[in-house]
Amino acid sequence: MLPVPIRASSLRVARKAAHHLRDRPVRRTVLPSRTPTVHPATTTATTQTTQTTQTTQAVLLAAGVGRRLRPLTDDRPKCLVPVGGVPIVDRLVAQLRSCGIRRFVIATGYRAERLRRHLLERWADADLELRFVDNPDHATTNNLVTLWRCRDAVDADPVVVETDLVLEPGAVARVVSAGSAALISPYTDQMDGTSVAVGPTRDITQMYVGGEGSPQRGGFKTVNLTRFTHDDWTATIVPGLEAGRARGDHHRYYEHVIALALAAGRLAMQGVVIAPDAWAEVDTPDDLARAEAFVAKRPRATPMPTGIAAPRPATTERSADDVRPGIGATSGRAAAS
């Protein structure tokens, strides 16, 4: 069963109606059952929205525990840790929205309900379609399994984003407007993790997951924002995720699927290069300090849309008793991140 997409704005309307009707007598009416309607994504500026973004979904991977950032993540997922006063995930949603994307698949796990409440309240006036997919095994699996759980919720070109990134806005736009592509950055001594080799035209020729076997000097680090055409998603990525899960590769990153497909010639991807100082990844307290410095130098790094309330500290969110989002979810970075 597919997770039911809901509009954040519908939560705001429901609250107003409930407040208006609270003291009125109740008339009990039995209505025939009906199948929930999946509302198509809409845009508020169609003249500025390209066909590419109209057929693109963002897939936000936000299931991980974020152990290395404790105690900041004791009561919230890592993506809700603020950088420059704004939760990391809100920066990413704002940047993706500024590129014309209105449809979001959010893969949850650790502190899933808090993230759902936050996104529904924070973006209630933004006319976004939010579809939540839960990975109940997030503590014992990695993002290969999380992304696999999102497979049926994706019906367009997906932009897969790990939600611990702080990026210059232009970087997001360059990937969103590409075909199958990955955001990459020249390797520096401060980097680790998955890297790629590229050809003369910036086509990605090899991927070294976790950096294993990587010729890091002269190579490129992946920045964990990847776009696939829907054809590549359905013909290559989803079958690869299925095969990995069947093999028991539960602790692998989803990049392992990309690496195998590249090696077998089943996938062609471009590298979209950004400078090492154009992004930050938040895994540790030192990373968080670097991200804060990154944002301090870029006051326009978060294009918040007109009409959206100013960011607020996560500690002021309402309690679970105040919010009843009625979210439909299926049971989708996982263990430690």
Residue 146: CATH number of its domain? 3.90.550.10
**Is residue 26 predicted with pLDDT exceeding 70?**
no
Which phi and psi (to 5°) does residue 195 adopt? -135, 170
User: Which segment, 4-8, 71-75, 304-308, is predicted with the most confidence on average?
Assistant: 71-75
The number of distinct structural domains making up the chain is 1
- Mean pLDDT of the 170-191 span: 87
Q: Would you call 333 exposed, middle or buried from its count of C-beta atoms within 10 A (0-12, 13-18, 19+)? A: buried
Whether residue 141 lies inside any domain: the answer is: yes
Percentages (nearest 5) of helix, strand, coil residues in the chain: 35, 20, 45
Please say whether the beta carbons of 221 and 194 come within 8 A.
yes
Most confident of 177-191, 201-215, 222-236: 222-236
Task: For residue 154, give the amino acid letter.
Answer: V
Q: Does 161 fall in a domain?
A: yes
The range of the structural domain enclosing residue 240 comes to 53-301
Nearest-5° Cα angle at 180, 96 to 41 = 40
As a whole number of angstroms, the distance between CA 64 and CA 116 comes to 14
- In angstroms, rounded to a whole number, what is the distance separating the alpha carbons of residues 302 and 289? 18
DSSP string computed for 221-266: EEEEEEE--HHHIIIIIHHHHHHHHHHT-TTS-THHHHHHHHHTT-
Contact 38, 307 (CB under 8 A): no
Best-predicted range by mean pLDDT (168-177, 184-193, 306-315): 168-177
Please give the biggest Cα pair distance in the chain. Answer: 72
Let me know if residue 322 belongs to a domain.
Answer: no
At 60, phi and psi to the nearest 5?
-100, 115
If we measure between CA atoms, which residue out of 159, 168, 222, 218 comes closest to residue 195? Answer: 222
The answer to whether position 283 is within a domain reads yes
Q: What pLDDT digit, counting tens, does each position of 240-269 carry?
A: 999 999 999 999 999 999 999 999 999 999
Task: Decide if 37 is inside a domain.
Answer: no
User: Average pLDDT for residues 21-27, to the nearest whole number?
Assistant: 40
8 Å CB contact between 334 and 135:
yes
Of 158, 161, 218, 213, the C-alpha closest to 185 is 218
Quick one: what percent of the chain has pLDDT higher than 90? 52
Domain membership flag for residue 259: yes
Domain-embedded: residue 106: yes
pLDDT digits (tens, 9 = 90+) for 34-78: 332 233 333 222 323 344 555 789 999 999 888 899 998 998 999
For residue 58, tell me if it sits in a domain. Answer: yes
Q: Is 3 helix (H, G, I), strand (E, B) or coil?
A: coil
pTM, rounded to two decimals: 0.76
Mean pLDDT for the stretch of residues 130-136: 95
Q: Is pLDDT of 337 > 90? A: no
Q: Name the strand (E) or helix (H) holding 126.
A: none
pLDDT of residue 8: 55
- The sign of the torsion formed by the CA atoms of 59, 334, 119, 21 equals positive
